[in-house]
Structure 1
Amino acid sequence: MEYEIIHLPKEKWKGTIIPIGYTTDKYYDVIVNKTDKGFAIGIEKRDFTEPVTHTPEEYNFPDKLYEDHWENAYAWGVLVNDELVAAIETDQELWSNRLRITELWVAENYQKQGIGHALVEMAKEQARRQRRRAIILETQSCNVNAIDFYQHEGFTLIGMDTCCYKNNDLQRKEVRLEFGWFPKKKKRLRREEVEIRMETEEDWYKVELMTQRAFWNNHHLGCDEHYLVHKMRQDKDFLPELSRIAVKDGEIIGYIMYSKARVVDGEDTHEVVTFGPLCVDPKWQGCGVGELLLRETMDLVKNKGYKGIIIFGEPDYYPRIGFKTCDNFNITSAEGRNFDAFMGIELWEGSMEGIKGKFYESELFENLPKEEVEEYSKKFPKLKKLRFPGQWD
């Protein structure tokens, strides 16, 4: 049976007790010895003389969803007949750029059905989207089933605390162990490894399919960027001579789409350009494809005589390529605002001098009716809509 994983909103599920309990006949014995050269630490699986059971009732502070000390908590779960039977909660450790799994539980009757794996995959997807350098979690040395499960999911031991719960944790065989999972580091592609060219009509469907995968569940439930690409090709502001696709071994792995824009200051109008979407297939994200597309097309834009590029984009990404917030250019959004995601770049030194006012892009960006998006999306393989932290709605 396939179970649906859903987001558990904080306003509804805060304070819900997660009844974590288990019985085990084994434990990982943690031995710490002081030596002349430092410390010798051993961790070895052993048998209890008789099974040990831990229940939620024995703890003064049972596990609960959305505890106050987890400031950035986010939870998913599985409901059967409106009853919670499995859950995972994460918290973003912003200072270290890690993601912590704070809760992971599957009711006994639903274990060994792939639910735990699916929940961990949600955390891994969150880490990938947020570019976290690691996922970390806590378990106990006597929770052998959990330890074996985490290792099967790719986690490895990264540390321990021998007095986390009581001062005799070593003697009680219940030592806090920390496990970590690390995304594989991707190799950056060189320019000669990627074909960058204009798209043809034969590329259109594959470009839109790749765009959908790149943006799915990113800013909203689902996405509309693939429909934007379709509509923009017919728009008067589209600049196909500047737009490019990236191709690797015959597969379209990236796309940048340019369109005309303007900065208006009273009766003065300055023509600039914008791009969007700029996207890379998820399996090639982190390989430098977007930067290759952007740097190559920026030269094309410059050679066409445009003085600047203005965008709404990721503030953690574009500044390293040279983009600055638009308050540096005396340019605001159409509503007169400035914010971190509103950025621009000069195409040569001082090229944006004298350009000031309010920025306007194609009306198409604000005119993508949801019903049209849903209808157009039927052309593509069906993808599941899921909630993730950071979505706009």
Structure 2
Amino acid sequence: MLNIKLAELDNAKIINEEGLKAMKYEIIHLIKEKWKGTVIPIKYTTDKYYDVIVNKTDKGFAIDIEKKNFTEPVTYTLEEYDLKDRLYENFRENVYAWGVVVNFELVAAIETNQELGPNRLRIIELWVAEEYQKQGIGHELIEIAKEQARRERRRVIILETQSCNVNAVDFYQHEGFSLIGIDTCCYKNNDSQRKEVKLEFGWLLKEKKKFNNDEIEVRMETPDDWYKVELMTQHAFWNKHHLGCDEHYLVHKMRQDKDYLPELSRIAVKDGEVIGCIMYSKARVVDASDIHEIITFGPLCVDPKWQGCGVGELLLRETMKLAADKGYKGIVIFGEPDYYPRVGFKTCDNFNITTADGKNFDAFMGIELGKDSMKYIKGKFYESKVFDNLPKEEVEEYNKKFSKLQKLRFPGQWD
């Protein structure tokens, strides 16, 4: 039996909501080369604790966790263990950190570690200097960890705190974390007596229900859709491969390009909201004087809120059938190698096709739209020049059409 009496939360005490809305501090990626070894000065004073009692019973174990008062305030620091928390410790391989810097001084930080085997993301450090607390910074740092977990398709975020760190326990609950475990001898053999029991909290990413064809409208876009499609595309790609993105500007430019194929391109709409799109264009494979006409697509994207619901696959399968019915022989793309093979894409070395500079790699893939339809196509792949004609200054100018989004580093970006 597990009996947990965790206190009801006072939202005003944990996060000043007005401060959150008007947070004036910018969160940045803490570059490893610069911030490695930086000490995180963990220290807190509390007049309450969660008392953790474990009793053996005839039926197993009874665990009771209840908030109680200390007779007088107690201060906890890492120095009492002769320890110091530091960013980018050598024994951790997959860490990444963000923080807030004011006048060249670190005043808040979060550090995560990818646990690749169990597919978890662990928050190692979360710290906000006392004078910067209750301004929404902690919440925004947690949101970055949640965004990292969503991008990497982790199944859960986990972290630890102590039963005496009542403010942290309450804060994590407010952020949607639940108690998932305890360790009564993590720090010393008398943790329970000292009221400093390790508590593990977890935030589980929800499994999303796959849509079927009846729940999504797949159709050609109209001029009335253009802004919504570009906005959705911007959100889908923002900070995904680079700082910011240019895919929404690519969508805008493609519509004006001679190689664009609107008769194949489609958008996905749910309850009047544009939640996905796929844009096709002409391409070619060149072998000396032989030129083979094929097609490519890009971007194919889904609003982050609806990613994982099968929208991209619905768009892809429907448009592949359209392309096959119109007599196109095959599709060649640059895409995510852990996604497209699910629907039959293979690396282009299977088709004797290389990039324009003669290379092959996992992200360069193709698919035949009929049996052996690309059997006699070989050579170098060339896509429309519109993909190369996206100057940064033009992208930045086009970004002014949309609400400003912060550019931020995440693991896995290409540059």
The residue identity in structure 2 corresponding to 1:33 is: N
Match of 1:43 among 52, 59, 65: 65
The corresponding residue for 1:168 is: 190
Q: Which deviates more, 45-54 or 92-101?
A: 45-54
Match of 1:343 among 355, 365, 380: 365
The corresponding residue for 2:265 is: 243
The corresponding residue for 1:5 is: 27
The residue identity in structure 2 corresponding to 1:181 is: W
Trace 1:234-273 onto structure 2 (pairs within 5 A).
234-273=256-295
- Equivalent-residue separation in structure 2 for 1:356 and 1:112 (angstroms): 62
The corresponding residue for 1:24 is: 46
The residue identity in structure 2 corresponding to 1:3 is: Y
Trace 1:1-393 onto structure 2 (pairs within 5 A).
2-393=24-415
How far does residue 78 in structure 1 lie from its aligned partner after superposition?
0.8
- Equivalent-residue separation in structure 2 for 1:43 and 1:329 (angstroms): 62
- Equivalent-residue separation in structure 2 for 1:42 and 1:353 (angstroms): 68
The residue identity in structure 2 corresponding to 1:301 is: A
- Equivalent-residue separation in structure 1 for 2:360 and 2:118 (angstroms): 28
3-state SS, counterpart of residue 210 of structure 2: coil
3-state SS, counterpart of residue 41 of structure 2: coil
Percent of counterpart pairs with the same letter? 81
- Equivalent-residue separation in structure 2 for 1:351 and 1:171 (angstroms): 73
The residue identity in structure 2 corresponding to 1:143 is: N
3-state SS, counterpart of residue 271 of structure 1: strand
- Equivalent-residue separation in structure 1 for 2:374 and 2:57 (angstroms): 66
How far does residue 248 in structure 1 lie from its aligned partner after superposition?
1.4
How far does residue 188 in structure 1 lie from its aligned partner after superposition?
2.2
The residue identity in structure 2 corresponding to 1:345 is: I
How far does residue 185 in structure 1 lie from its aligned partner after superposition?
3.0
Deviation track 1:307-336 (CA, whole Å, cap 9, x = no partner) reads: 211111112211212212222222222222
Q: Which deviates more, 103-112 or 160-169?
A: 160-169
3-state SS, counterpart of residue 96 of structure 1: coil
3-state SS, counterpart of residue 278 of structure 2: strand
Deviation track 1:136-186 (CA, whole Å, cap 9, x = no partner) reads: 101112111111110111000111222222222223222211100012333
Unmatched 5+ stretches in structure 2: 1-22
Q: Which deviates more, 275-284 or 260-269?
A: 260-269
- Equivalent-residue separation in structure 1 for 2:60 and 2:371 (angstroms): 58
Deviation track 1:8-50 (CA, whole Å, cap 9, x = no partner) reads: 1101000000001111122222222233333222222222233
Q: Which deviates more, 154-163 or 34-43?
A: 34-43
Deviation track 1:213-266 (CA, whole Å, cap 9, x = no partner) reads: 211111111111111111111212111110011111222111100011122223
How far does residue 366 in structure 1 lie from its aligned partner after superposition?
1.9
* Aligned-residue RMSD, C-alpha: 1.5
How far does residue 101 in structure 1 lie from its aligned partner after superposition?
0.6
- Equivalent-residue separation in structure 1 for 2:315 and 2:345 (angstroms): 15
- Equivalent-residue separation in structure 2 for 1:289 and 1:182 (angstroms): 22
- Equivalent-residue separation in structure 1 for 2:72 and 2:314 (angstroms): 61
3-state SS, counterpart of residue 39 of structure 2: coil
- Equivalent-residue separation in structure 1 for 2:203 and 2:193 (angstroms): 28
- Equivalent-residue separation in structure 1 for 2:181 and 2:337 (angstroms): 34
Q: Which deviates more, 113-122 or 181-190?
A: 181-190
Unmatched 5+ stretches in structure 1: none
- Equivalent-residue separation in structure 2 for 1:350 and 1:21 (angstroms): 67
- Equivalent-residue separation in structure 1 for 2:256 and 2:59 (angstroms): 72
TM superposition score normalised by structure 1: 0.96
Alignment length (residue pairs)? 393
The residue identity in structure 1 corresponding to 2:80 is: E
3-state SS, counterpart of residue 95 of structure 1: coil
